[in-house]
Each structure stands twice: as structure tokens, then as C-alpha cells.
Structure 1
């Protein structure tokens, strides 16, 4: 599988590692309900303090106690207050972890530095940075054709991806140039900000804002699963950025959304990265016709000799990313156990989707939204603006 090293512009095999959380046993059938008890988690909560919380945190409190998590916030608070006065608290359970298979990247015919620079720079290019303006810091990662560093530019912390020219092709530089042209048009707090490009004879670098926590794929495998409210916040960030791209005139389709292309900042914002495959859709009724992206997150309409698709391919991919976020990598990545041929057959022909059984503790309305996002028929998938509104309900 293709991915970017630590979320920063690269291709390399993936071998994730994750610590399994301790599974707590549920209460047995012989548990006796008592008339009153002390729920330490709610002992000092009142209707007023509960109503001051966001709905996502209220949902979590309900889930921890085996209470219904659907409905209005007011009803959920009422259920919690009734529970506080009467019922015992069940223990939570945790699903098991799954493994991930690494995939090797493809070797390409190299170019020389001079030709690379001539391809990248033209009369319309702006944002060039000289190498002496960059201060290179610690290494973030490396892979097929790029080493990635934290650094500074004009006093700002940035991510610096320096290309290894001997492993770079004309096709790669064309993709990079296109990515720059797309990034220059995008200004959104949940999209990685493009800073500039260094094109010295010996150094070819792309410079963006720094997201210290790296990409979401790795982050989920390093950090203990956060609160439901934080999970919703990540999903909402991704939905906001995608909705922004789709609502532009003309709209932009990312075409390669996946957890490796979502970066996490130190203040826990999620930001979309890697616009090398993004395309501008010039007319609202136009369909795109080029195959691209990573198969595990690709919508089924990609998989034909002459594919036709719209912005709804991004909606499909976001649905898979949201499933990853809710499972927090405990269920692997989408279709991790299928070969490419098996994936096409299962997903396109048999409409197989990632398993939802171990996510049933979450509100059914949220799970239904995700399932709508990855429907086979693109016309039945919701718009990302609709997804934004549904997720926002949990943050109020």
C-alpha cells in the first residue's frame, strides 16, 4: 500500500503496532439489582452540570452504564439522572486487535535534479524558498523517495520533505506540481497549509505546516483511545475540510482520502494532507474518469475500465476513515485481510463492508450515517455538508 512517511509526503511499507487495552469482564447474569447505590462517576453531577456537557460526553456516560445512547440530549440527561438514583453500573468491554500486512512500493526510473527543477518551476510558479532559509531539525521519517524533517522557515515550525532525486520520476514531479497548485488554492483550518518549495540545484523540498503528531494511521496505533467526544471531533474536522473542498467553485475532489493522509496537530486538530491526486471538477454535473487512489479506501465506481465518479468518492472514503476512528485501529484498516482482487470482488460485487458488530455501543444513528456514506450507489450517499451537520449535533 502507498502511504506517506509519518503523514509527510512519502511511500513506504506499513507495519503498525498497537497496545491492546485491558478488557474488563462484564457483570454475570447473577448480578442482583439493588434499590439504591452510589455511582461515583455521577455522584456530584446534577441536571445542570450534565446539560453543560457536549452531547458526545453525555452519550459516553450512557454507554458506560448500558443506557440507550439515542435520542435528544435532554432525554439522555434524564436517563442518567434516573440511573443515578436506582441502577448498578456495568463494566465496559474492548474488542480485540487485528494485524496489518506491509506492502512494498514500486521502483521507478529516476530523473536528474536539473530536469526536475525545470519541470517544477514555470512562469506562473510562486512560493519558492531558498535552501539557506530553511533550518533542518529532527527527522520525522523516510521512505521511497523522500526524507521528512521538522524544521523552521522564517521562525515558523514547518515540515520539510526533501526528495531523493535518484528515486524520482517525471510522473512524480508532475504529481507534486499539481499538488502544489491545488494546495495554493485551499485555505482552511483543517487542511494542511502549503508554505512553499525549495528548488536549489542540490535540494528539492516541499514545505508545509508542521503537524507534530504525524498521520492518523500511526497515531491511532500509538495513543490510547480517547473519549467519544474527541473521536467525534476528529471526524468533524475531516468532514469540515472535505465539505469545504466540495463546496468550492469549482469543487475539488481529493480522490485519495485515507487515514494515512490525515495529520494530527499538537492541539488535536485533524487536517487533510496529500493532494497529489486531487482534481478540480469544473462543472457541477461533470463526472471524472481517471482511476487513482489506494484500493482499500476507494469507492466501487473507481473499479471499471472507464470509471465515472463525482465528489461522492470522498464521502465513501470518509465513511471508512470514520469506521477506523471509532474502532481506533483495534479492527485493523479496511479490508486488511483481502488481496486486491478479493477486495474488488467482495466490495463491488458482494457489497461487503467493514464489520460493525463491535461498534454497537455507539449511537445507531451515527453508525447508520457511516453506512449511508459507504453505500454502493453514490446518489444514495449523503453530502459532506449533511455529514458535518449530523456530527455537529454531538459537539453541542
Structure 2
């Protein structure tokens, strides 16, 4: 009797500990979220209830002060400093809040942090500098994640492909997106080798318009790739629900995509996405005010396995054919300009409200495009400058397609000349 009573007492104690841990994780998320939202009253209330939350850390080891510093939220920062926030706390990249504030050019924040003894240091300087991270050391991987830290108990399936599945799960109390490679692919030496090579590439990428890689499971099966989870869903779903976007929204979205792509295409380590399409462009939040490019590299990851014709089937859907540059379809040599072609197709879809060549099956659409045909412009939102830019981006000759840095400059100019949004409502039926 006493034995079973003892064990039930222990299990009740264990349950209490689990609940306490869950509540702590939840409060950690809350203070980081409220700091991000510039809600000083909510931040103060949490700190009054539990002073230790000033030391809260997210999966990148970033404190609420890092978050406030990056966004320039002075009142939130003052409140955190009042509760003895560590002004020189370092995140995963060894950056201090001051390094973040300098990277984002937040002058008042820089002054505030310096007046509290803030120092600007970090492994890579400020948060937004686009310097590649040094490759991880093979013996001491700071990105290798212990699969036991991944909590799949409340996981939901986000996507499925021939390579495996993408799940929303939790890592150290934070929602993340996890790509799980199929067990039979995890046994293939070439896939393992390519997977590790891919991780070495992804770990160096850091940009506000690129989905952030967090780590990977490479030592145990199944192989897994962990990235930040973006709650806004993908652009494909957004366009399905909203239809054609207003020109100003479409251009804001296009600018975000082009910024991410300009970063990927920058020398010396050029990354060709190869599968740029609305499903691989993610909305940071439900208010859809910020986009990030994601899911690059998987086509390259599996390329050693298949004929190039099948590469695009492996990155999710054969729907990739719809956005595919003619030179890829024809198995010709190609370079980073394939991404510029796909970008033009996405721009077209945002303004028209339907996929390019929507009356054809994806493979037929790619074949039709490879023969020299292009989608028809119908939307009123296409100004002459936008039509010209789109035409150049999907030029059959890849040498005539502009690089993303030029696309950015031209989109900025077009944005300045657009009338305000309300003039366009008559066209959005």
C-alpha cells in the first residue's frame, strides 16, 4: 500500500513540476512577444509578477532587451533596464543588444544602452550585417540538436513531399518548423553527405527576409532540419484566400522577396534557390506585413539522387513546373537568373490573383513557357513600368534578366509613383 501511495505521490509531484515548467516556458514566450509588440504595460506586469523574466531567452538566446533594442522600443528597454536587464547579454551569435541597435541604426536606443554601460560586441558585429558566419567546427557543432529536445506531442503537419514531411512542433518551448527526411532517404550515404553540406550552407545565412535556420539532427535518424516557424502561412494560401493584391501590397511583397534573393545571390557564396514559388515564400504573421523566403536547398540536397527532371518533384509539388525557367525545363546549363524568372511569375500571380498559365497543368505550363509563350497581362494594376520589369525578368535569354539588386531599385521607384491604395478598390472585385 505504502509503496503505491509513494509512487502516486511522486507522479503527482512530477505532474506539478511539468505544469510549472510549462507555465515558465509560456511566460518566457509572453515577455519576448510583448517586447516585440512594444507593449510596455504587459512587459511591466509580467516583471512585477516575476522579476526573473527579465533574463528570459528565446531559442537564439536573445533576451527581451535584444528584441527591444532591434526594434528601437525605448520605453520597453527602459522598463527592462529598471528591472536590472543585463545590458551586455549575448545572443547565439554573441551579439549584445547595442550591436543589434547599431545594426538597425536606432540612434536613441544606442544612446540609452551606452548610458547604461552597453558595449557593442559580437562574433559578427551587428545583427543585420550580411557577413557569412564561419562554418561550424566538425567536432563541436553548435547547430546539432538533440532530438530529445524536440517536442512532437502537439505537432501539426504543415506540408508533405517526396523527401519527407514538414511539421510544426516545439523546441525548448518555442514553436518551430521541422523538416523530417524519410527514413529510407536517411540511410543513403549520398543524401546524408548532401544533407550535412546543406546544413553547412544554411548555418551561414542570416537576413531579415530569409527564414532563419536554427539547427539540425544529423547524428541520429530521422535526419531533421529545424527552422523558425512563421505563423502567417505561405503566399500560395494567402493569394488563394485574397485573390489579386493591390499594386502597393504586391510591390511591398515583391520588395521583401527581392531583398531575400539579393542576399542569397550576393558574392562570394551565391545560393541559387531553384524552387522559388508562392509556397516557399512565408508570411511572418497573420497581418501579412513582412515576407521571408524559405525552403531553399532541398532541390540541391536531393539532386545527387535523381535525374534533374525529378529534382523539382522532390521539393514539394510538381507545381514547381509552373514557375520554372525555360532553361531548367530544357535541361540546359543555368545560373542564378533562374530565380529571377520565377520571381517574375510570382509578381504576375500577385497582381493577377491567379497562377501563371492557370488553365494548363503545371507540366504543360512549363512546356508552353519553354516554347516562348508568356502569361497574358490582364490586371489594371500593371503599370507600364511594372509590365516592362516583368517582361525583362521572364526574358527567354537569361542574360537579359536583371539582377535582384537592380530589381530592388526599380521596384522602389515604381512604389514612389503609385497612387494610394484606395484608388484600386474598384478593380478588386
- Normalising by structure 2, report the TM-score: 0.54
CA deviations on 1:196-247 (whole Å, 9 max, x unpaired) are 1135756543210111122211221134655432221111111111111112
SS of 1:141's partner is: strand
CA 1:345–1:229: 2 relative to 1, 3 Å: closer
> Which structure is higher in helix share?
2
Q: Distance in 2 between matches of 1:274 and 1:339?
A: 20
Aligned to 1:325: 350
- Within the alignment, does 1:352 sit opposite 2:368 as a pair? no
Instruction: Pick from 212, 215, 219 the counterpart of residue 193 of structure 1.
Output: 212
Q: Distance in 1 between matches of 2:263 and 2:392?
A: 20
Aligned to 1:295: 321
CA 1:247–1:213: 2 relative to 1, 3 Å: same
- Within the alignment, does 1:160 sit opposite 2:185 as a pair? no
User: Which runs of no fewer than 5 residues in structure 1 stay unpaired?
Assistant: 1-120, 280-288
Alignment of 1:100-249 (within 5 A): 123=139, 126-136=142-152, 137-144=154-161, 146-166=164-184, 170=188, 172-199=191-218, 201=220, 203-223=222-242, 225-249=244-268
How far is 1:154 from its partner? 3.4
User: Which runs of no fewer than 5 residues in structure 2 stay unpaired?
Assistant: 1-136, 301-306, 313-319, 417-429
CA 1:361–1:297: 2 relative to 1, 3 Å: closer
Aligned to 1:392: 412
SS of 2:271's partner is: strand
Tell me which of the two structures has the higher relative contact order, counting C-alpha pairs closer than 8 angstroms and 6 or more residues apart.
1
Instruction: Pick from 337, 344, 365 the counterpart of residue 360 of structure 2.
Output: 337
Is the contact made by 1:229 and 1:394 (CA closer than 8 Å) also made in structure 2? no
Deviates more, 1:292-301 or 1:221-230: 221-230
CA 1:332–1:301: 2 relative to 1, 3 Å: closer
CA 1:250–1:196: 2 relative to 1, 3 Å: closer
Is the contact made by 1:182 and 1:275 (CA closer than 8 Å) also made in structure 2? no
SS of 1:139's partner is: strand
CA 1:375–1:147: 2 relative to 1, 3 Å: closer
Aligned CA-pair RMSD: 3.1
Q: Distance in 2 between matches of 1:223 and 1:172?
A: 38
Is the contact made by 1:179 and 1:275 (CA closer than 8 Å) also made in structure 2? no
How far is 1:371 from its partner? 1.1
Q: Distance in 2 between matches of 1:348 and 1:191?
A: 29
Aligned to 1:61: none
CA 1:169–1:133: 2 relative to 1, 3 Å: closer
Is the contact made by 2:215 and 2:225 (CA closer than 8 Å) also made in structure 1? yes
CA 1:311–1:148: 2 relative to 1, 3 Å: closer
How far is 1:157 from its partner? 3.1
CA 1:299–1:332: 2 relative to 1, 3 Å: closer
SS of 2:351's partner is: helix
SS of 2:402's partner is: coil
Q: Distance in 1 between matches of 2:362 and 2:150?
A: 42
Aligned to 2:118: none
CA 1:361–1:161: 2 relative to 1, 3 Å: closer
CA 1:336–1:141: 2 relative to 1, 3 Å: farther
Aligned to 1:251: 270
CA 1:246–1:193: 2 relative to 1, 3 Å: same
Q: Distance in 2 between matches of 1:195 and 1:315?
A: 27
- Within the alignment, does 1:274 sit opposite 2:295 as a pair? yes
CA 1:304–1:345: 2 relative to 1, 3 Å: closer
